[in-house]
Amino acid sequence: MSSSNTNETLAKARIAVLGFGSQGRAHALNLRDSGLDVVVGLRKNGPSWEKARAEGFNVAEPGDAVKDADLVAVLTPDMVQPALYKESIEPNIKPGAALLFAHGFNVHFKQIDPRKDIDVILVAPKGPGALVRREYEIGRGVPSIWAVHQDVSGQAEAKAKAYADGIGGGRALLIKTDFKEETETDLFGEQAVLCGGASSLVQAGFETLVEAGYQPEIAYYEVLHELKLIVDLFYEGGISRMLEFVSETAQYGDYVSGPRVIDAGTKARMKDVLKDIQDGTFARNWIAEHKAGLPNYKKFKQADLEHPIEQVGAKLRARMPWLQANAPKPASEPLKKVG
């Protein structure tokens, strides 16, 4: 299943995949099925050690996995990567080898200063690990973005593209970016739209209906449950497909009321969010928060868990067993160590 580019560039290479979460497992399996030599680097007694061995992988402690590798893929949570680099990668990675990330956060915000004698590249499939694996297995792939931060071998671009081919991205679409663009757009998307923006919009809509005297159960269905129907249409064919499948009444409401909710003031605040990302304010705050033991993070998370929409939703979802049957598992445990 491997492409000629993969064969030519990485055919004789050993690839160390550090981490075996959603993306780590998918990358490791796809690379191996592309005919490449893969070792998985994990803590000896970590929860993923036996899982990786059960999948038939050669598993080693991170430092040992790195020593003989020609390409090291760092697929662990952002906040554990700097220590992992200092302890296991920097002392062991071979000169001329490639260090690969799936997110540019630590390099872009200078939490990791890669050795000057190695290639530093990025490959990020635009989908969760389960989708990356599933699409590969049926002969397709998930579009991926790639970047080169440091090229000492003269082959950094070829390595990035070959790795992307190895996980199936080349079957779909490869888009060139850089560490700055990938990091800043990824953080902005999460904060302003996908996670922060969407969840706050849903909570505000729920509160507005309940405060106006409507039943919480009805409000839940109207502002949260049915959002999936709209997002699926966005995903399949953009805004135009959504407009094709909703009623004319819904379309008219979209046109006249959407701009009343998401107005110029909202966009101005989005620009403030982007500025905090671009100038490093968000990164500094998040790094400091993590080092302090996550006091605000825990407080914010608990407030979300205790919001009335969660209490109502839990009761309603218990009456919809099909949701549990199809529920995806969490993509990762972002604050745990490797393995």
Q: What is the pLDDT of residues 10-65, one digit of tens each?
A: 999 999 999 999 999 999 999 999 999 999 999 998 889 999 999 999 999 999 99
pLDDT surpassing 60 at residue 97 = yes
* Annotated binding residue 34: no
* Annotated binding residue 22: yes
pLDDT given for residue 47 in this prediction: 87
Distance spanning both ends of the chain, measured CA to CA: 28
Q: Residue 214 and residue 211: Cα distance in Å, rounded?
A: 7
Q: Mean pLDDT score of the chain, rounded to an integer?
A: 94
Would strands 14-18 and 37-41 be described as parallel, antiparallel, or unpaired? parallel
pLDDT given for residue 21 in this prediction: 95
Query: What tokens does 213 get?
Result: 């005297």
DSSP 280: T
Active site residue 103: yes
144 within 8 A of 172, measured Cβ to Cβ: yes
* Annotated binding residue 134: no
Residue-wise burial string across 155-169, b where 16 or more C-beta atoms lie within 10 A, e elsewhere: bbbbbbbbbbbbbbb
Residue 304 identity (one-letter amino acid):
D
The model's pLDDT over 177-219, given as tens digits with 9 standing for 90+, comes to 999 999 999 999 999 999 999 999 999 999 999 999 999 999 9
Residue 226 identity (one-letter amino acid):
E
- Going by pLDDT thresholds of 50, 70 and 90, the confidence category of residue 2 is very low
pLDDT surpassing 90 at residue 175 = yes
pLDDT given for residue 5 in this prediction: 52
CATH fourth-level superfamily of 12-177: NAD(P)-binding Rossmann-like Domain (3.40.50.720)
* Annotated binding residue 3: no
CA distances to 26, 318, 328 from 324, in Å:
23, 8, 9
* Annotated binding residue 207: no
pLDDT given for residue 45 in this prediction: 82
120 within 8 A of 99, measured Cβ to Cβ: yes
What crossing angle do the helices spanning 22-33 and 129-137 adopt, rounded to 10°? 20
* Annotated binding residue 68: no
* Annotated binding residue 23: yes
CA distances to 18, 145, 147 from 125, in Å:
17, 6, 12
To the nearest whole percent, how much of the chain has pLDDT over 70? Answer: 94
pLDDT given for residue 1 in this prediction: 43
60 within 8 A of 43, measured Cβ to Cβ: no
* Annotated binding residue 48: yes
Residue-wise burial string across 285-301, b where 16 or more C-beta atoms lie within 10 A, e elsewhere: ebbebeeeeeeeeeeee
Would strands 119-125 and 144-150 be described as parallel, antiparallel, or unpaired? antiparallel
From the candidates 103, 225, 290, 307, which is the catalytic residue? Answer: 103
pLDDT given for residue 332 in this prediction: 46
Mean pLDDT of 318-329: 80
* Annotated binding residue 222: yes
Domain ranges of the chain: 12-177, 194-320
